[in-house]
């Protein structure tokens, strides 16, 4: 067991290295960089001649090390990350990339975790209901709704809900996390209510698919467990149905869902991404999207790297958790 853990952890190091290289290369793939855009801006708006603007931009390139070859740029980037926690400079926000990400990560996590928590709880409850009432009307209905939930593209769910709120229920302001008049206000009760009125929308939108997925997984697992010998034995020896259900069946059916928690984080972060872009939330998703579109290379690369690292570590944790809770897995 211990050697399994050590081997698994040792293996993550080269993986992280390879992953960081690929993140960097992908982000550098599009032709040109952020300064190309500045160059044309200088020409058209500041009225500089072609030569002057190129000279200015070349100088900027030098200061930010963009004139160096890609491998050298990568080495500088990764060295600063590892030694100083410095992810590089974001041209778009005119400050270090990690600052942009950190200040937006707070809301990302709050929204993502709320959506995840609610979707897991609701999904599990519906799943247990469905499995214990197999083939009932409620089971059919929730199974069908789960299918529908999985068939909606997230951006479309967002569009539909926004449309309904604005044009059917006449909600005055949708999008973002607060109405314009509260943006600069200090926190008080009214602002909090306004915040809640905005907050539930992205949570529900990004939670829909999660509810459907968890419900289906729970239902299928529980039905499998019901057919297993030990549940039949538990029933045969006269245990109360409640005890059979919660002490024997549910606990075992939860295994895959618990194991999933390790990798859930990056999925929920990217799950709220599209919603956040459509609703224009102050989270990492829209920042990443803008960084991609405007070639704010280091910001986009840093974000991609961070999510990837979280995913790699999540995978590791999930493997270890599964190894820990499931005694049937062998380690050599």
Partner 1 sequence: MILKNERSRKKNSFAEPVKGEAYIQLVWRKFKRSKTAIIGAILVIIMAILAIFAPFFSPYNPLKIDHRASFSPPQRIHFFDDKGKFHLRPFVYNLKLELDPQTWKRIYREDTSKRFPIYFLVRGWEYKPFGIPCKLHLFGVPKGGSIHLFGMDNYGRDLWARIMLGGRVSLSIALLGAILSAFIGSMVGTISAYYGGITDMILQRIVEFLQSFPQLPLWMALSIAIPATWSSLYVFIAIMMLFGLLSWTPLAREVRGKVLSLREQEFVLSAKEAGASDARIIFKYLIPNCLSHIIVILTLTIPWLILAESTLSFLGLGLQPPMVSWGVLLQEAQNLQTMGRHLWIAIPGAFIVITVLGFNFLGDGLRDAADPYSRR
Partner 2 sequence: MDKQNEILLEVKNLKKYFPITRGVFRRVVGYVKAVDRVDLFIRQGETLGLVGESGCGKTTLGRSILRLIEPTDGEVWFKTGKGKKLDITKLEDREIKSLRREMRMIFQDPYGSLNPRMTVMDIVGEPLIIHKVAQGKEIEDRVRTLLKIVGLNPRYMRRYPHEFSGGQRQRIGIARALALNPRLVIADEPVSALDVSVQAQVINLLEDLQVQFNLTYLFIAHDLSVVYHISNRIAVMYVGKIMEVGQAEEVYQGPRHPYTEALMSAVPVIDPDVNPERILLQGDVPNPANAPSGCTFHPRCRYAKKICSQEEPPLEDIGDEHYVACHFADDFSLKGIRQF
Question: Which residues contact partner 2 (rule: CB under 8 A)?
Answer: 3, 6-7, 10, 332
Is residue 65 part of the contact set for partner 1 (CB under 8 A)? Answer: no
Is residue 311 part of the contact set for partner 1 (CB under 8 A)? Answer: yes
- Restricting to residues 152-181, name those near partner 1 by CB under 8 A: 152-156, 159-160, 162-163, 166-167, 174-175
CA distance between the termini of the chain: 8
On whether the CB atoms of residues 172 and 109 are closer than 8 A, the answer is: no
Element (H, E) at 89: strand 89-90
On whether the CB atoms of residues 314 and 265 are closer than 8 A, the answer is: yes
How far, CA to CA in Å, does 30 sit from each of 169, 187, 204, 300, 327? 43, 42, 35, 12, 48
Stretch that binds partner 1, among 16-24, 79-87, 118-126, 181-189 (CB under 8 A): 16-24
CB of 87 to partner 1, least distance (A): 15
- d(C-alpha 97, C-alpha 315), whole Å: 26
- Restricting to residues 236-255, name those near partner 1 by CB under 8 A: none
Pairing of strands 89-90, 95-96: antiparallel
From candidates 71, 99, 147, 326, binder to partner 1 by CB under 8 A: 147
Pure H helices in 228-296: 229-236, 241-243, 251-253, 255-279, 284-293
22 versus 196: smaller Cβ distance to partner 1: 22
Read out DSSP for 217-230?
A: HHHHHHHHHHHSHH
- d(C-alpha 34, C-alpha 289), whole Å: 14
How far, CA to CA in Å, does 158 sit from each of 155, 166, 167, 274? 5, 12, 14, 9
327 binds, among partner 2, partner 1, none (CB under 5 to 8 A by kind): none
From candidates 308, 318, 320, 321, binder to partner 1 by CB under 8 A: 308
70 versus 243: smaller Cβ distance to partner 1: 70
Is residue 71 part of the contact set for partner 1 (CB under 8 A)? Answer: no
Stretch that binds partner 1, among 17-25, 88-96, 127-135, 239-247 (CB under 8 A): 17-25
CB of 294 to partner 1, least distance (A): 10
Q: Which of 199, 192, 31, 210 is nearest to 118 (CA)?
A: 210
Is residue 205 part of the contact set for partner 1 (CB under 8 A)? Answer: no
- d(C-alpha 7, C-alpha 76), whole Å: 29
CB of 101 to partner 1, least distance (A): 13
CB of 4 to partner 2, least distance (A): 9
158 binds, among partner 2, partner 1, none (CB under 5 to 8 A by kind): none
2 versus 184: smaller Cβ distance to partner 2: 2
Residues forming the site for partner 1 (CB under 8 A):
15, 18-19, 22, 26-27, 29-31, 144, 147-148, 150-156, 159-160, 162-163, 166-167, 174-175, 266-267, 269-270, 273-274, 277, 288-289, 292-293, 300, 303-304, 307-308, 311-312, 315
């Amino acid at each position: 067991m211990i050697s399994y853990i050590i081997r698994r952890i040792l293996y993550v190091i080269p993986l992280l290295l390879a992953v960081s290289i690929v993140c960097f290369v992908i982000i550098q793939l599009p032709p040109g960089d952020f300064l190309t855009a500045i160059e044309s801006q200088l020409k058209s708006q500041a009225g500089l001649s072609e030569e002057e603007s190129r000279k200015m931009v070349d100088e900027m390139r030098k200061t930010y090390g963009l004139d160096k070859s890609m491998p050298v740029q990568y080495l500088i980037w990764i060295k600063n990350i590892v030694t100083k926690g410095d992810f590089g400079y974001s041209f778009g926000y005119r400050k270090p990339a990690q600052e942009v990400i950190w200040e937006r990560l707070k809301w990302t996590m709050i929204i993502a975790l709320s959506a995840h928590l609610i979707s897991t709880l609701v999904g599990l409850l519906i799943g247990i209901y469905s499995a214990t009432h197999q083939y009932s009307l409620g089971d059919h209905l929730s199974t069908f709704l789960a299918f529908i939930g999985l068939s909606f593209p997230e951006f479309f769910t967002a569009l539909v809900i926004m449309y309904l709120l604005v044009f059917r229920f006449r909600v005055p302001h949708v999008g973002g996390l607060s109405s314009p008049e509260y943006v600069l206000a200090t926190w008080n009760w009214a602002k909090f209510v306004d915040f809640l009125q905005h907050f539930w929308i992205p949570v529900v939108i990004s939670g829909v698919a999660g509810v459907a997925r968890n419900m289906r997984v729970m239902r299928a697992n529980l039905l499998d467990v019901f057919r297993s010998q030990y549940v039949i034995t538990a029933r045969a020896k006269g245990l109360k149905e409640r005890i059979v259900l919660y002490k024997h069946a549910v606990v075992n059916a939860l295994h895959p869902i618990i194991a999933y928690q390790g990798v859930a984080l990056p999925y929920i972060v990217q799950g709220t991404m599209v919603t956040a872009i459509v609703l224009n939330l102050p989270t990492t998703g829209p920042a990443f999207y803008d960084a991609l579109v405007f070639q704010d290379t280091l910001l986009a690369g840093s974000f991609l790297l961070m999510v990837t690292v979280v995913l790699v570590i999540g995978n590791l944790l999930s493997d270890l958790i599964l190894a820990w809770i499931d005694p049937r897995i062998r380690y050599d």
